[in-house]
Structure 1
Amino acid sequence: MEMFGSAFDDSMFAEVRDKVTVALSPYKAKFCEPQWFCESAALDTEDSLEKQKVFKFRGDLALRQGSYQNALEAYSSCLEWIPENNLSIRRDVLEGMARSYTQLGERERALETADLLSKESSNTCHLINLLLLKVSIHQKFGPIGSKMASLEQLCSLLPFNPWHWYNLGQSCLQRMEADKPLRSCAPLLRGSEAEQKDGWTEESGGEMEDRTWLKACMCLVRTRLLLMALKQQQSSFVLQRSENALRWLDKALQRLNPPEGAMCSLTEVMSEDLEKMREENQDGESLAGLCVQSFAERWWNKVLLTPQAHRPQKQPEKL
């Protein structure tokens, strides 16, 4: 009886054939002078890819140097040479154009370009970049409500990123300061003129101020909770940045002066999902299957239903 494993295939004893070696041509790296794409000779080519690179690099350099009109011209020329299937370069160029329009003070053109990016967004990375772009546009032109709306979407999409909550809290504080002169001049405003002031009216002014105060408190509490949780894993300048932010948060909350009961309630509501910090990951997920609760559903409505979340009678100090 033949034992298992005792039989050998005859091919194992066959002579090994000599491997044929193919001589490879030596690799020659292409050396380029600094800012070679700025020279007029760089466009003396029929290669569409090379022309695309030249205009793209020119636009990026002009944007970095603050020559926003030159950046727009270069980016516009680059779009003509981008293939339809190269969406990554197209999105990069459109974002550069939107930022150039923003710096040139052309708000409508910047938002129109952002809308083009919105139509071509296919995953969460695209959506995050789009929202960050909108935040910068709204921050430049001053509509605090629009900036807050974009930041709320970022907080819903990336609920464990403390810096989006930090920026949203700061925006709430800015809005509280901006509402003060509106209250003083409210009797002079009539009808639609009052409504145009970022959604504020004389009748709803006090209520809006209270809601903004409450939203500022919840954002600062959430930021503090996240930074405290992440602080254990940080070091060097990252840790220093977090510690500086925590000191500012403590001072800001002290000036907002929330009652002790409100602080306990806000802390309880805003820390409910912290145990899921390492589980939730939506980076690169397709928008087609993405299901994210809105800011109001996930946090704001819960805070409003909390009995202790009310504003103290004492007005907070100016931040």
Structure 2
Amino acid sequence: METGCWLLGGEFEDSVFEERRERRPGPPESYRAKRCEPQWFYEETGSSDDVEALTVQKFKGDLAYRRQEYQKALQEYSSISEKLPSTNFAMKRDVQEGQARCLVHLGRHKEALEIATNLENKATNTDHLTTVLYLQFTICSSLQNLEKTIFCLQKLISLHPFNPWNWGRLGEAYLNLGPVLSASLASSQKENSFTSSDTAIKSSFPHSGKDCLLCFPETLPEGSVEVSSGNKQRNEKALKNIQNRMTEERAAVLLETQMKACASFIRTRLLLQLAQCQQTSFALERNLKTQQEIEDKMKRFSFKEDTLLLIAEVMGEDIVPEKIRDEVHTEVKCVGPAALTALVIGSSKEFEDKWFRKIKDHFCPFENQFHTEIQILP
């Protein structure tokens, strides 16, 4: 045989050459699974093992949480945390997460955030970080802080870009953020407009000080009245321009968040469509239901077909079956906190530049056309 050639099937596992174990005579031993009665952990276990005793106590805390008895659950978790040995990292993380979630339900968000931050700093692999980010998302959602909620979702997506459910949550968050930002901008502009209005009124009257009260238009020289009238017209025109600009700014803010929401929903749908062929039963049912909900939301934007095609093209550039398969079966990356930090985006701007910049750049030269093309329905 020539060098470099090999026979098909010429490679064998070592196990092929191992001797088989001899079977013991007689019937095989029957397997008996350990059966536990419901809420068995409330009974006296009589265990001298400290770890087992703490595990039983954790079950009690978990059940109290499930029953929405958050104060009782918090007491159980806090008691466990004090007794846990410093080397039991796994249970320590579980207990601290339980404490944080109880604190959220009890309205003690600051304490919950402190625990979440501590867990994030001590995370050593991607699973730990993912769990912490979901915890932070829960806390920020409970606080109804939309901007921080969005940032949590953006960090989760940067860690798992092919998770459709986080993209869907991000789209919902952007939908809710638009009116909030628009209202906040309107309030700020209203204050500024009052200041501008006062300045304009004062500039209409050249006299100031105590003598101003005595200077009525009918007592002023004829030339002064004409100057005052001209100033008034100019100021009214300036105020009208300011108001128009404010209206345009509010519309632009609302439009941008609508665009981000639409892009997020489109990516959600693309990912769900790709996963659809591999799903059955309730998973497929949930998939199809979500796709229909997205379809209904898309109608609110009234985007033209070519606009939707462009957004779909941009948001689906990296969606390749091989990549998604690698994402699903990826190994947990065990690295230090510093390396984990590098895996997620550092700011909301960084995330939006990566995912939405191409869409914004495409419409930037045709901004006026884009504004008239898209009609946001109530």
Task: Name the TM-score class by shorter chain.
Answer: 0.7 to 0.9
* Equivalences for residues 93-112 of structure 1 within 5 A: 93-112=95-114
Q: Distance in 1 between matches of 2:85 and 2:330?
A: 29
In the superposition, the TM-score normalised over structure 2's length comes to 0.67
Residue 41 of structure 2: which of 37, 41, 50 is its match? 37
2:285 corresponds to 1:285: no
Residue 118 of structure 1: which of 117, 120, 126 is its match? 120
Q: Deviations over 1:62-84 (max 9, x none)?
A: 11111101111100110122222
Cα 1:69–1:303, aligned 2, differ >3 Å: closer, same or farther?
A: same
* Equivalences for residues 177-256 of structure 1 within 5 A: 177-187=179-189, 205-256=250-301
Aligned partners of 2:165 and 2:268 also within 8 Å: yes
2:172 corresponds to 1:170: yes
Structure with greater contact order relative to length (CA < 8 Å, sep ≥ 6): 2
Q: Structure 1 residue 167: deviation in Å?
A: 0.7
Residue 62 of structure 2: which of 37, 56, 60 is its match? 60
2:363 corresponds to 1:307: yes
2:203 corresponds to 1:158: no
Matched residue of 1:140: which SS?
Answer: helix
Q: Deviations over 1:124-172 (max 9, x none)?
A: 1111111111111111110011111011111111111111101100111
Matched residue of 1:255: which SS?
Answer: coil
2:346 corresponds to 1:316: no
Q: Distance in 2 between matches of 1:117 and 1:293?
A: 16
- As a proportion of its length, which structure holds more helix? 2
In the superposition, the TM-score normalised over structure 1's length comes to 0.78
Aligned partners of 2:182 and 2:253 also within 8 Å: no
2:136 corresponds to 1:138: no
Residue 128 of structure 1: which of 127, 130, 133 is its match? 130
Cα 1:27–1:293, aligned 2, differ >3 Å: closer, same or farther?
A: closer
Q: Distance in 2 between matches of 1:218 and 1:254?
A: 13
Q: Distance in 1 between matches of 2:265 and 2:33?
A: 52
CA RMSD of aligned residues (A): 3.2
Q: Structure 2: any 5+ residue segments left out of the alignment?
A: 1-29, 193-245, 346-350
Q: Tell me which structure has the larger Cα radius of gyration.
A: 2
Which AA in structure 2 matches 1:272?
Answer: E
Q: Structure 1 residue 287: deviation in Å?
A: 3.9
Q: Distance in 1 between matches of 2:38 and 2:284?
A: 37
